[in-house]
Structure 1
Amino acid sequence: MKKHLTMLAAASSLLAAVSAQAQTKTLTVGGYGGSFETLMKDLIIPEFEKTHDVTIQFVAGNSTENLARLQAQKGNQELDVVILDDGPMYQADALEFCAPLDEATRTDADVYDLAQIGPNSIGIGFVATGFTYNAEWFEEKGWEPPKSWKDLTDPKFEQILSIPPISNTYGLHTLVMMARLNGGGESDIDPGFTAMADDVAPNVLVFEPSSGKMSELFQSKEIALSIWGSGRTKSLADTGFPAKFAYPEEGAVALMLAACPVVDSDAPQAAQDFIKYLLDPEIQVKLGDAMGSGPVNKKTELPKELAETLPYGPEKIAQLVTVDWDTINPNRQEWTQRWAREVER
C-alpha cells in the first residue's frame, strides 16, 4: 500500500511538472546580435522570464535580416517581438507585420514624442548620428572639434575621413543632411549626391560599413574623423581610445532602436509586456550602459558619466533631427545603385 501511494505521489508530481511546463509560454524575440544579444541574455531576459512565467527564445540578426525574416514568414510568423533600426521598422509597420501596440505602453512609459514612431511601433533607445573624432589627433593639430556637416568638405580631412556607405544608416543620414544643406532634401536628393561626389568623397579614405573595421581604422590612426553613432563612439572610448562624439550644429540625426509586437503572435500579451518592460527606467539604464543608446523614457536617470556620452535629457533630444523614412524607403534601392555609380566610383 505504501509503495502504491509513493508511486501515485510521484506520478502526480510528474503530471504537475508537465502541466506547468505546458502553461509556460515561449516568446520569440528577434533583435541585434553581438553585444545586444549578450545584454539581452545576461541582464534583461532572465528577470522578465522569472516575473512573467515565460521562456524567451532570442533570434539574433541585423535589421535587414530580421525584416527579411518577417517577409519570408508572412502568414506564419516565428517572431513575437522584433527589434529593428527605425528605417526598417517603418517598413515593417507599413507592410503590416506589426500588431497594434497597447496605448498604455506609450503613456505609462512617458516616452519622448520623437520615439513615437508609428501606431504599432515605438523607439526603445536613441542613437545620434554625428561626428566621431580622435580627440588627441585634433588637439595635436590644434583643430577645433567638428561643428557642421559642411566640415566633411574641409580639405584638411583629405584621406583621414571615413563614412559608411548608403547601405548603412549612417551613410544614408549623411547623404540626406548634405542634400538639406545644399537646398534639397529627401524629396530632392540630387544636391546631396552632387555634394557627396564632388566635395565629400575626395576626403574619404574608405566608405567603411563594418563597425569593427571602423574601430580599427581609428586605432591604427588611418583616420581621424568619421560619421558614426554616439553608441559606437562610446564603445570605442570604453576601450581607452581617445574617441569623442560631436553634435553638428545643424542637428545630429536620430537613429532609433525600435520594437513592435508581431502580428499573429501566439503570445500576444507577453509580447506587449516585453516591450513595456524594455521601456522601464531601470532597463533603459542597462540599454544605455551596454548599447550606448540614450533613454526614450523621460523618467530614466542616468549616472553622470554615462549621461555625458549619450543623447540624454530634453535639451539633447531636442537637438536631434529626423529623416523622412516614408520618402526614403521606396527610393533606397535606386539611391543605393546611384551611390555606387556616382559617390564610390
Structure 2
Amino acid sequence: MNKRQLLLATILTTATSGAASAQEVLTVGGYGGSFETLMKELIIPQFEEANDVTITFVPGNSTENLARLQAQQSAQELDVVILDDGPMYQADALGFCAPIEDAPVYADIYDIARLSDNAVGVGFVATGFAYNAEWFEREGWEPPKSWEDLADPKYEQILSVPPISNTYGLHTLVMMARLNGGGEDNIDPGFEAMANDVSPNVLVFEPSSGRMSELFQSEEIALSIWGSGRTKSLADTGFPAKFAYPQEGAVALMLAACPVVDSDVPEKAQAFMQYLLDPEIQVRIGDAMGAGPVNTTSELPPELAEVLPYGDKIDDLLAVDWDVINPARQEWTARWAREVER
C-alpha cells in the first residue's frame, strides 16, 4: 500500500469510527440560574451516562422558552421543555407537546400534577407569604395567616407583591378575587381589592427574585407574596426568611415538563421525562430548588419536609384555572397597569 492509499484508509477509518461513536443529542429547555446549575451538576450527568446520550441545556425563563417553541415550530430545537404550569398549558394548547408514553413511574404521581396527556408537573412550589422572622418578632407580630392580611395597615410600605406578569402576582389577584366573591370567571372583585386595599401597602411590585431578596436583606420590606422555593433559597443564605401558608390555602405553582413534538430523539425525550420523576431525582430537585416532590413515594429529610409542599400540605394546595386565565391574561395585564400599579 502506497502512502496515498494508506492516508485514504486512515481517513476512512477515522470517519467511520467517529460516526459509530457519535452520541445522540437531547436538547432540554429550562430555567437558568440555580436551576441550570442543578441540572448540569446533579441531574444531567447521571442520565447521560445511563442512556448513552449528550444533553444540551438551553436556559431561559418560561416566557422565553415558550417564545422559542413558537419561533421554531417548523423545526423545533428542543426535545424536552420545562416551564411554569401556566405557560405549559399554553404550550400544550398550541400543540407543542407530544403525548407522554405510559410508564410505571406515572402511577406514583399526584393527580394534581397530571396536567394533561402531554404534560406533567415535576415539582411543587407553593405561593404564599415570605416574611422576615426577626422583624416580626421585633414588632411582636404573629406570622401572616390570611390573604386578607395584605390589606393590614401595619404593612404599609413594607410589603412587596410581584406584578401580574409574574405567576406569584397573578395568584394574588385570583385569590383576592375569590375572597371577595369572584374568581377567575369574575376577576373584578380582585382588581378592586388589589387597587383599593392592597396597593397602598405595597412599596414596589417587584418581578425579579434577585431584587426581592435585596429588598428583604436591606430591610426595605418585611413581607412579600413569594414562592416556598424562593423563600428557602433566601433562608439558605442565612437570612431569617420564613414561609407561611395562608389559612385559605397556598396556590400551587408547578414546574412542569413535556416532550416536544417532532423530536428527532423521541425515545430519549420520553426517558428523560421519566427520569425527572424518579423518587431520588425528585429529592435532589427539592433540595436544590425548593420544589416539593410530585412523586408520592419520594421521602424528604425532615428539614426539607418542614418547609416544602410535601405530604399533607399537598392536599391543601389550590389550583387556578389556566384555561380561563391564559386567554384573558393580556387584557388583565393592561388593566393591572392602569388600576393597580397606577
Q: Which TM bucket (shorter chain)? A: over 0.9
User: Which of these residues, 294, 297, 302, is aligned with residue 295 of structure 2?
Assistant: 297
Matches within 5 A, 1:257-276: 257-276=255-274
Aligned to 2:185: 187
CA distance in 2, matches of 1:152, 1:86: 25
Aligned to 1:14: 14
Aligned to 1:41: 40
Aligned to 1:68: 67
CA distance in 1, matches of 2:105, 2:162: 33
Aligned partner letter, 1:189: I
Matches within 5 A, 1:122-137: 122-137=120-135
TM-score by length of 2: 0.96
What secondary structure is seen at the aligned counterpart in 2 of 1:321?
coil
Aligned to 1:216: 214
Once the two structures are superposed, what CA deviation does each residue of 1:106-127 show, in whole Å capped at 9, x if it has no partner?
535x000110011100000000
Aligned to 1:93: 92
* Contact residue 105 and residue 278 of structure 2 kept, 8 A: no
TM-score by length of 1: 0.95
User: Which of these residues, 308, 327, 333, is aligned with residue 330 of structure 2?
Assistant: 333
User: Which of these residues, 169, 172, 177, is aligned with residue 171 of structure 1?
Assistant: 169
Moved over 4 A (4+): 6-13
Among all aligned residue pairs of Structure 1 and Structure 2, give the percentage whose two residues are the same amino acid: 76
Once the two structures are superposed, what CA deviation does each residue of 1:199-255 show, in whole Å capped at 9, x if it has no partner?
000000000000001000000001000000000000000000000000001100000
What secondary structure is seen at the aligned counterpart in 2 of 1:103?
coil
Query: Cα offset for 1:306?
Result: 1.5
Change (3 A) 1:105 1:62: farther
Aligned partner letter, 1:218: F
Query: Cα offset for 1:13?
Result: 6.2
Structure 2: gaps spanning 5 or more residues: none
CA distance in 2, matches of 1:219, 1:105: 45
Query: Cα offset for 1:17?
Result: 3.0
Once the two structures are superposed, what CA deviation does each residue of 1:286-335 show, in whole Å capped at 9, x if it has no partner?
1111111000001111111111111111x100010000000000000000
CA distance in 1, matches of 2:7, 2:141: 81
Query: Cα offset for 1:167?
Result: 0.3
Farther-moved stretch of structure 1 (295-304 vs 192-201): 295-304
**How many pairs align?**
341
Farther-moved stretch of structure 1 (110-119 vs 168-177): 110-119
What secondary structure is seen at the aligned counterpart in 1 of 2:247?
coil
Aligned to 1:310: 308
Aligned partner letter, 2:44: I
